[in-house]
Amino acid sequence: MPEGHDHPPVRLVVLISGGGSNLQAIMDAVARGAIHGKIHAVISNDPQAYGLQRARLAGIPTEVIDHRRYPDRTAFDRELRRRIEAFDPGLVILAGFMRILSTEMTAPFEGRMLNIHPSLLPRHRGLHTHERVLEAGESRHGCSVHFVTSDLDGGPLVIQASVPVHPGDTPEGLAARVLEREHIIYPLAIRWYCAGRLSMQDHHVILDGVARENPVQLEEVSAAELEALGV
């Protein structure tokens, strides 16, 4: 059931590049009232991204800004920023958005832009995280939600979830287990933000009025809160 709030639903804009499974998890959480927000647009840099179809099926407006049609990253970022700002979002959500954003793009949304990354940051920033974890022989892998800053995958960490690395794991199998955790912690972080419980101040994560020295771990989250998300 939706919870009581003293403010309108937070205006959300979601950026995607691919299948949109995290987008689906967020849409589901919004639909069940676990997130006090409304998705006003889903924007993709790839016209073939299946996530666009997910959004359309849910009646959410979609836009495509094909990066290949722009002469350089600056021109693309400028148009992306213009399109996002047209929706006046309270929160911008990067959900598998596979473009590196410039400071010109991230600065206007600092403190109201979240990303999910498939590693236990600060380890393994960038791409091919599952392969790199296996090559390094690590025993744990996972995912992290963080505020977006101009530092690639380096913004303040909100929450993480880990999975064991099994003998004989493949990048695909490992990725699938991590993705299951992504579908829990990303809606959870967005839930906190939309409830006014989560913010970024002076490059620090503030959760429930307390500055976090370390990210929340999924194991710390109460069963009642997870149940609200349908987990």
User: Among all residues, which ones are annotated catalytic?
Assistant: 117
Judge if the upstream peptide bond of residue 108 is cis by omega within 30 degrees of 0. Answer: no
- Which of 194, 219, 190 shows the shortest CA–CA distance to 25? 190
Q: What is the DSSP letter of 107?
A: G
Q: Which residues contact 28 (CB under 8 A, 6 or more apart)?
A: 187, 230
Sign of the CA dihedral running 165, 169, 170, 173: negative
Q: How far is CA 210 from CA 168, 169, 226, in A?
A: 41, 38, 21
- Which of 185, 138, 135, 133 shows the shortest CA–CA distance to 159? 185
